[in-house]
């Protein structure tokens, strides 16, 4: 019987599937500094983003055959090293795409109706300055008919485009690779539609988009920095639910303060888990603490997919 440590937790469905397949699944979290000693007795470990599985840990756990990441990014695992030692390293890249896409729209809706600011001020001023706040938030806009520029048209970019098209937005996309010319949408009731897509280069996207959402992997150099902010439409709204570092945070603050960027929605930060305070307290940023994939549905899909992959690997 194989022993698995789900050190950052696993959805109950995934745990049940693994146990039904004969695995012993421990979900009690072992602190990072104790793992070298305690992981030795396990055949597999699953992690989210908290637990790190580095070379030194892999070296002292000769029984370990598989490292599973519930989610996409594997920055916390020495993937190449693990594979060079014969370990399988797996993740569940598609399971959370829709949840991240929906969070993008939470930020966009928050941005165009000033919810981020209203939520902060209503508890303090709502009873004494209702009319004043009502006036402050009077110039909201609708998303329908506006252009969303999506940078990075992979799994999450596509889901984001589908939500945007469903809302009646125009979508333009920018990616290194050629993207499909149409995107198929499925509405409730089984109604399907193929909607044409327009791929443009980043320069054109910056010039045309009313809103920009970033869906690229971590990049050494920010995709949006001073030079790019100079080229965006005045009053653009920007959302980053991809990775910290994809936007230069100092340049974003300057662009917000100058009014070039109307608002930003940030789920990810350069310096997680201690983002800079001037971002956190900026009046025109809608904030979430890296919760893009943190929905019940996504976690259940992640657990189910992870369990399936682990069972398949050990049954081979
Ligand atoms: N907020 C969250 O909780 C959360 C959850 C899951 C994933 N993510 C992040 O979202 C991002 C996208 O994930 P995904 O699953 O869609 O990835 P993906 O690999 O499916 O797609 C990424 C796309 O970006 C394109 N790309 C790469 N560099 C580019 C560049 N400089 N300009 C334009 N296009 C570029 C690639 O060609 C690819 O099509 C990743 O950074 C991932 O870590 C965040």
Beta-strand runs (E) in 42-180: 44-47, 66-69, 88-91, 147-151, 170-174
Does 290 participate in catalysis according to the annotation? Answer: yes
CA of 217 to the centre of ligand 1 (A): 4
CA of 10 to the centre of ligand 1 (A): 23
User: Six-digit token pair at 26?
Assistant: 């421990």
pLDDT at 86: 97
Provide the pLDDT confidence category of residue 187 given band limits of 50, 70 and 90. Answer: confident
The bridge status of strand 211-214 relative to strand 236-240 is parallel
Condensed to tens digits (0 to 9), the pLDDT of residues 97-133 reads 999 999 999 999 999 999 999 999 999 999 999 999 9
Which one from 155, 215, 243, 282 is the annotated catalytic residue? 243
Give residues (CB < 6 A) around ligand 1: 72-73, 93, 96-97, 100, 151-157, 174-177, 215-219, 223, 241-243, 267-268, 290, 292-293
Q: Whose CA is nearest to atom 20 of ligand 1?
A: 154
The yes-or-no answer to whether 3-93+296-315 and 97-287 have a common fold is yes
- For 3-93+296-315, CATH gives 3.40.50.720
Rounded mean pLDDT of 44-52?
95
Contacts of 190 (CB under 8 A, 6+ apart): none
Report the alpha-carbon distance of residue 268 to residue 241 in Å, rounded: 6
Rounded mean pLDDT of 229-233?
98
User: Six-digit token pair at 1?
Assistant: 């019987």
- The mean pLDDT of the chain is 96
Contact present, 150 and 213 (Cβ < 8 Å): yes
CA of 73 to the centre of ligand 1 (A): 9
How would you list the strands of the sheet with 147-151, edge to edge?
198-199, 170-174, 147-151, 211-214, 236-240, 261-266, 285-287
Correct CATH for 97-287 of 3.40.50.11720, 3.40.50.720, 3.10.20.600, 2.60.40.3080:
3.40.50.720
Provide the pLDDT confidence category of residue 267 given band limits of 50, 70 and 90. Answer: very high
Report percent pLDDT > 90 for the chain: 95
SS3 251: helix
Report the alpha-carbon distance of residue 32 to residue 152 in Å, rounded: 33
CA of 102 to the centre of ligand 1 (A): 15
Q: Please give the number of the atom of ligand 1 that sits closest to the Cα of 71.
A: 6
Q: Whose CA is nearest to atom 39 of ligand 1?
A: 154
Whole-structure pTM value: 0.92
Pocket test for ligand 1, best of 156, 174, 247, 267 (most atoms within 8 A of CB): 156
Report percent pLDDT > 70 for the chain: 100
The string of DSSP codes covering 1-57 is --EEEETT---HHHHHHHHHTT-EEE-SPPPHHHHHHHGGG-SEEEE-SSS-B-HHH
Report the alpha-carbon distance of residue 119 to residue 116 in Å, rounded: 6
- Residue spans of the domains in the chain: they are 3-93+296-315, 97-287
CA of 92 to the centre of ligand 1 (A): 14
Report the alpha-carbon distance of residue 212 to residue 217 in Å, rounded: 16
SS3 66: strand
Q: Whose CA is nearest to atom 10 of ligand 1?
A: 242
Does 33 participate in catalysis according to the annotation? Answer: no
């Amino acid at each position: 019987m194989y022993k698995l440590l789900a050190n950052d937790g696993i959805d109950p469905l995934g745990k049940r599937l693994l146990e039904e397949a004969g695995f012993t699944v421990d979900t009690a979290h072992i602190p990072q500094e104790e793992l070298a000693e305690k992981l030795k007795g396990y055949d597999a470990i699953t992690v989210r983003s908290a637990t790190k599985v580095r070379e030194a840990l892999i070296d002292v756990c000769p029984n370990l055959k598989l490292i599973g990441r519930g989610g996409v990014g594997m920055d916390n695992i020495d993937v190449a090293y693990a594979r060079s030692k014969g370990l399988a390293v797996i993740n569940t890249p598609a399971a959370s795409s829709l949840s991240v896409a929906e969070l993008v729209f939470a930020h966009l809706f928050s941005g165009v109706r000033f919810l981020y600011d209203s939520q902060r001020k209503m508890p303090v001023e709502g009873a004494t300055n209702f009319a004043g706040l009502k006036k402050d938030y009077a110039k909201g806009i609708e998303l329908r008919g506006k252009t969303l520029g999506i940078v990075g048209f992979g799994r999450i970019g596509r889901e984001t485009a589908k939500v945007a098209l469903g809302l009646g937005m125009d979508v333009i996309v920018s990616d290194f690779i050629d993207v499909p010319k149409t995107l198929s949408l499925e509405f409730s009731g089984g109604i399907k539609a193929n909607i044409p897509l327009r791929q443009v280069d980043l320069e054109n996207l910056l010039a045309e988009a009313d809103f920009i959402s970033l869906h690229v992997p971590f990049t050494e150099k920010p995709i949006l920095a001073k030079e790019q902010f100079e080229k965006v439409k005045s009053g653009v709204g920007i959302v980053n639910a991809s990775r910290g570092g994809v936007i230069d945070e100092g340049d974003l603050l300057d662009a917000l303060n100058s009014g070039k960027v109307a608002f930003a929605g940030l789920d990810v930060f350069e310096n997680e888990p201690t983002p800079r305070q001037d971002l956190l307290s900026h009046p025109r940023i809608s904030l979430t603490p890296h919760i893009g994939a943190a929905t019940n549905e996504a976690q259940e899909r992640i657990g189910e997919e992870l369990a399936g992959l682990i069972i398949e690997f050990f049954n081979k």
